[in-house]
Amino acid sequence: MNGQGFTVTGVSKTYGGAGEVRALDGIDLTVGEGEFVVLLGRSGCGKSTLLEIMAGLQRPTTGTVRLGGREITEPDERIGVVFQDPSLYPWRTVGRNVELGLELAGLPKGRRRAVAQEHLELVGLPDAGNKYPRQLSGGMRQRVGIARALATRPDVLLMDEPFGAVDHLTRLQLQHDLLRLWAEDTRTVVFVTHDVAEAIVLADRIVLLTPGPGRIARTWDVPRPRPRTLGDPGLTALREEIYAQLEDTGTWEKEGQPR
């Protein structure tokens, strides 16, 4: 399937209320069809805000987002969203969670069952359909979140720190599986993370956001073939550069250590 490209033009976001928060300021970004872009930055720099604006879940204060030429002002059937906490509905079985988007779109029961099962198999959980989310591990739940987003066959996938809440080894596995899915069926992906290594392993292009208000500090192309290992000398240089930039722009997180 072909993806569609995003054009983000002059997007700013100020959260109202007593203490106004300027979350984003003047974001310009294009994401090409089929491109895998990673938004990198420490927590609070506006990554989620930008992603939700691109998903049509929030309106920017100024600026526009276009997908394939059409302006995004509300959630769009071409876009699938994967949330950080996969936010599965605990009262539904795993299978019926995956069906959710199809059900809301009015697909008949038999059809959406089949599609849901197909996508559970795609993410490596062929036998999980009748279980409840609480019976799955964190990594498995996140796979279900991905299956749910893919089941409606979106052209574009927006992922907000999807692997942030799982242990390190599971995260490596999930990254690997995501790249496999992406290679089988290339579509546009915008992936948010605060993990430099994750960004390097996944991205065609890394976009670094800096906080207060959120701005794009720099972008890097990652021209190395996948699968990538962090030991790759070409990537070591990139990693040094990203950390140098992080230090430079004062966006260092105390607990974050270079790996």
Ligand X SMILES: Nc1ncnc2c1ncn2[C@@H]1O[C@H](COP(=O)(O)OP(=O)(O)O)[C@@H](O)[C@H]1O
Residues that bind another protein (CB under 8 A): 55, 57, 74-77, 79-81, 83, 85, 87, 89-93, 100-101, 103-105, 132, 134, 148, 152
Shortest distance in whole angstroms from residue 116 CB to Mg ion: 28
Contacts of residue 184, defined as CB under 8 A and 6 or more positions apart, other chains included, come to none
**Looking at beta carbons only, is 68 or 256 nearer to another protein?**
68
**Looking at beta carbons only, is 4 or 142 nearer to Mg ion?**
142
Shortest distance in whole angstroms from residue 162 CB to ligand X: 13
Cα–Cα distance, 217 to 26 (Å, whole number): 11
Strand residues in the chain grouped as ranges (E): 6-15, 21-31, 36-40, 62-67, 70-71, 79-82, 156-160, 188-193, 205-210, 215-221
Shortest distance in whole angstroms from residue 80 CB to Mg ion: 18
- The site for ligand X (CB under 6 A) is made up of 15, 21, 23, 41, 43-49
Shortest distance in whole angstroms from residue 100 CB to ligand X: 24
Say if CB 80 and CB 149 are below 8 A apart: yes
**Looking at beta carbons only, is 21 or 100 nearer to another protein?**
100
Residue 49: name its binding partner from ligand X, Mg ion, another protein, none (Cβ under 5 to 8 Å by kind): ligand X
- Backbone torsion region of residue 68, taken as left when φ is above 0, otherwise alpha when ψ lies between -120 and 50, otherwise beta: left
- Nearest residue to the partner Mg ion, using Cβ: 48
Contacts of residue 74, defined as CB under 8 A and 6 or more positions apart, other chains included, come to 56
